[in-house]
Amino acid sequence: MLAKSLSIYKLPLLSALLISLSYIPFYPWATLFSFIPLWIFILRSKSLKTVFYGSLITGTLLAAISSYWIFIAIFEFGQIPVLLALPLSLLFFLIAQLFIPLSSVCSFLIKKHFQLNKAYGLLVLATIFSLLQQFTPTPLPWFASTTFLQYQIPLYHFADLIGFAGLNSVLLLFNASLGYAYLYKKKYWALNTIILFFTLVSLGHFYGQAYKTSTVKNQKTLSMQIVQTGIGSVIDYKKYFINKPSKLQKNFNPRRQILELHKKETLKTIKPNSISLWPESALLNYANQNNPLSQNLNAFSKTHNISIIFGSWFFNQKHQAPQISLFFHSPKDTKSTLSYKKVKLVPFGETLPLQQYFPKFIQWIYTQIPSVGNFLAEKKPLIKTFQNINFGSQICYESLFPELSRDLSQQGAQILINVSNDSWYDSWFQPRQHLYTSFSRAIENRLPMVRATTTGISGAILANGNVLKLSPYKKGASWSHLYSIKYLQNPSPSFYAKHPYWFNYLLLIFLFSLLITKYKKNNCN
């Protein structure tokens, strides 16, 4: 039975492996042909049921390989029992890449209805996959094109025109072209396709250089420090420090000790007139309330004359609920008031989905598993003006959603900042995926980004794509660095920020033109 299933679904399985092993942290070696095995499987299939199961296998296996750390997040961060964490992880893997079975089914039905040959079928597949990947709801948006930024393949520079979603669409069209060459045995077509790809890469290099030249004269510089402690939670602190007797005191308080680690590391590299950026979960209490931890931070900022941007919690009095927040604290402040509140919450870790549809059931789950996060989401992202600079903020998971950064850019953001808590993940896949997905927002909007994490990879990227010093990945080890961040005083939103869907409109026009042409031809025949 297993051997028969493997024989039937070997092509969808192959696609899942090619896609996942060409995505961060791997080199994008198969991005030009990774979808071809699945598409050939669809074109050859006679049954809708077979297409659905095959494409579901591709999507689920892809999610399980590239996002296996989701189980760790649900189990450790959400503190959900393992017997519940396993089926929740499987559910996540099933829906995370739902665009693959949806696109496959739609393409199969269109091919069948319009009696498309394989060449037309490949074009339909590429277009449908491009559109549905962007607009199918998913807890974990991703684009294979982001890998080009990790390896500095200059094609990424075009993201300020079409976004990384648009670049992903271009890659899918290259898949269709090479798929056509394979099915029809056209060697020269394949060669020309590859030449065209490298021509685009070369053009990306010159386009990136032109951008650097055009902005070099109008830049200002901000001195900004990143602090990383290697500790993202009380669990982490106990793991790395509780077995060290010299670290223990009579009144042992892990939350206070985590704050002390941030303060100690800050003083190592901070300089006058700099802003210190601390990660998410730096102050594990309500920073907008009068408590020992917030008093401690206020005193530290005032004593050393340091402006600090730090992750903490905001208690919303109106809704009587906590909000994950980023606070902007000046030495002149008596308490932290200026804050950005998180808009997109992590499913199962910070909130449970579908609360608006099943409120009683969700509340029952909270009573049974109190450790599951129950945070309040803010309605929309807002820029914050601090030290005469407009900051566009992202907290952790929010960097996956390009529309949030576009909104901040339209509001006049000059610098993007991202704070994250990656403490519950492994050291290989997730930290790099999260880093370069965050950095991709900087390229799309042509704004610099400064990113501070607890235990992930911290660093900065300039608007021109230059990646500055990155932190080492080592849990339990503190690190800090002072950056010179170049930014524009009056940045204009990028073409992509102003017109994010123009390339999708072209794809839709192309798709409808193709189908109308085929429909007329069929009627004539």
pLDDT in tens, 69-127: 777 777 766 667 778 778 878 888 888 899 999 999 999 999 999 999 999 999 999 99
Residue 213 lies in a domain: no
Least reliable range by pLDDT among 31-40, 72-81, 475-484:
72-81
Give the model's pLDDT for residue 248. 40
* In the predicted structure, residue 359 carries a pLDDT above the cut 70: no
Q: Determine the Cα–Cα distance for residues 418 and 458; give it in Å rounded to an integer.
A: 9
Coil vs helix vs strand at 32: coil
Residue 482 lies in a domain: yes
Coil vs helix vs strand at 482: strand
- Which amino acid, residue 394? Q
- Which helix H or strand E contains 312, and what residues bound it? strand 307-316
Residue 27 lies in a domain: yes
DSSP 380-411: S---EEETTEEEEEEEGGGGG-HHHHHHHHHT
Computed over its alpha carbons, how large is the radius of gyration of the chain? 25
* Three-point CA angle 325, 327, 331, nearest 5°: 165
* In the predicted structure, residue 474 carries a pLDDT above the cut 80: no
Q: Determine the Cα–Cα distance for residues 313 and 283; give it in Å rounded to an integer.
A: 8
State pLDDT tens for residues 114-170.
999 999 999 999 999 999 999 998 888 889 999 999 999 999 999 999 999 999 999
Calculate what percentage of the chain has a pLDDT beyond 70.
89
Give the model's pLDDT for residue 427. 66
Residue 64 in contact with residue 20, Cβ under 8 Å?
no
What is the DSSP secondary structure assignment for residue 349, as one 8-state letter? T
Give the model's pLDDT for residue 316. 85
Bond from prior residue into 25 cis (ω within 30 degrees of 0): yes
Q: Determine the Cα–Cα distance for residues 403 and 411; give it in Å rounded to an integer.
A: 12
Residue with the bigger pLDDT between 370 and 405: it is 405
* 273 shares a domain with 349: no
State pLDDT tens for residues 399-436.
999 999 999 999 999 999 999 988 766 667 788 999 99
Residue 290 has a CB neighbour count (10 Å cut-off) of: 10
The arithmetic mean of pLDDT across residues 168-179, rounded, is: 98
Residue 373 lies in a domain: yes
* 396 shares a domain with 372: no
* In the predicted structure, residue 485 carries a pLDDT above the cut 90: yes
Nearest to 168 by CA among 204, 147, 150, 144: 144
- Which amino acid, residue 203? L
* 159 shares a domain with 243: no
Residue 208 lies in a domain: no
CA dihedral 292, 295, 300, 302 (to 10 degrees): -170
Burial classification of residue 455, based on how many CB atoms lie within 10 Å of its CB (0-12 exposed, 13-18 middle, 19 or more buried) = buried
Residue 203 lies in a domain: no
Residue with the bigger pLDDT between 477 and 173: it is 173
State pLDDT tens for residues 297-347.
999 999 999 999 999 998 888 878 888 999 999 998 777 788 999 998 877
* 519 shares a domain with 438: no
Give the model's pLDDT for residue 341. 92
* 281 shares a domain with 228: yes
Q: How confident is the model at residue 262 (pLDDT cuts 50, 70, 90)?
A: very high
* 504 shares a domain with 487: no
Residue 358's domain spans which residues? 345-377
Q: Determine the Cα–Cα distance for residues 35 and 44; give it in Å rounded to an integer.
A: 14
* 478 shares a domain with 396: yes
Residue 350 has a CB neighbour count (10 Å cut-off) of: 22
* 456 shares a domain with 384: yes
- CATH, residue 335: 3.60.110.10
Q: How confident is the model at residue 247 (pLDDT cuts 50, 70, 90)?
A: very low
- In degrees and rounded to multiples of 5, residue 272 shows phi and psi of -55, 150
467-471 LR contacts (CB < 8 Å, sep 24+) = 467/152, 467/439, 470/435, 471/226, 471/228
User: What is the distance, to the nearest Å, from the Cα of residue 280 to the centroid of all Cα atoms in its chain?
Assistant: 16
The arithmetic mean of pLDDT across residues 17-36, rounded, is: 95
* Three-point CA angle 460, 78, 320, nearest 5°: 90
* In the predicted structure, residue 233 carries a pLDDT above the cut 70: no
* 265 shares a domain with 237: yes
Assign 3-state DSSP to the chain and report helix, strand, coil percentages, each to 5.
55, 15, 35
- In degrees and rounded to multiples of 5, residue 354 shows phi and psi of 65, 25
- In degrees and rounded to multiples of 5, residue 493 shows phi and psi of -55, 140
Least reliable range by pLDDT among 281-285, 398-402, 483-487:
281-285
- In degrees and rounded to multiples of 5, residue 128 shows phi and psi of -65, -45
Q: Determine the Cα–Cα distance for residues 263 and 351; give it in Å rounded to an integer.
A: 30
Residue 137 lies in a domain: yes
Boundary (domain end) residue, out of 377, 399, 429: 377
The residue with tokens 């075009």 is 158
Paired tokens of 449:
């980004």
Give the model's pLDDT for residue 83. 80
- Which amino acid, residue 261? L
**If you average pLDDT over every residue of the chain, what do you get?**
88
Residue 507 lies in a domain: yes
Number of domains in the chain: 3
Residue 397 to residues 63, 95, 141, 187, 280, Cα–Cα distance (Å): 17, 17, 10, 43, 11
Residue 508 to residues 108, 504, 513, Cα–Cα distance (Å): 17, 6, 8
- All residues at 6 or more sequence positions from 42 whose CB lies less than 8 Å from its CB, including other chains: 51, 54, 55, 104, 107, 108, 111, 121, 125
Give the model's pLDDT for residue 354. 65
- Which helix H or strand E contains 341, and what residues bound it? strand 339-341
Burial classification of residue 524, based on how many CB atoms lie within 10 Å of its CB (0-12 exposed, 13-18 middle, 19 or more buried) = exposed
* 21 shares a domain with 8: yes
Q: Determine the Cα–Cα distance for residues 133 and 169; give it in Å rounded to an integer.
A: 9
* 241 shares a domain with 122: no
Give the model's pLDDT for residue 360. 66
The arithmetic mean of pLDDT across residues 496-520, rounded, is: 93
* 435 shares a domain with 408: yes
State pLDDT tens for residues 302-314.
999 999 999 999 8
Q: Determine the Cα–Cα distance for residues 144 and 169; give it in Å rounded to an integer.
A: 10
Q: Determine the Cα–Cα distance for residues 106 and 111; give it in Å rounded to an integer.
A: 9
Q: How confident is the model at residue 246 (pLDDT cuts 50, 70, 90)?
A: very low
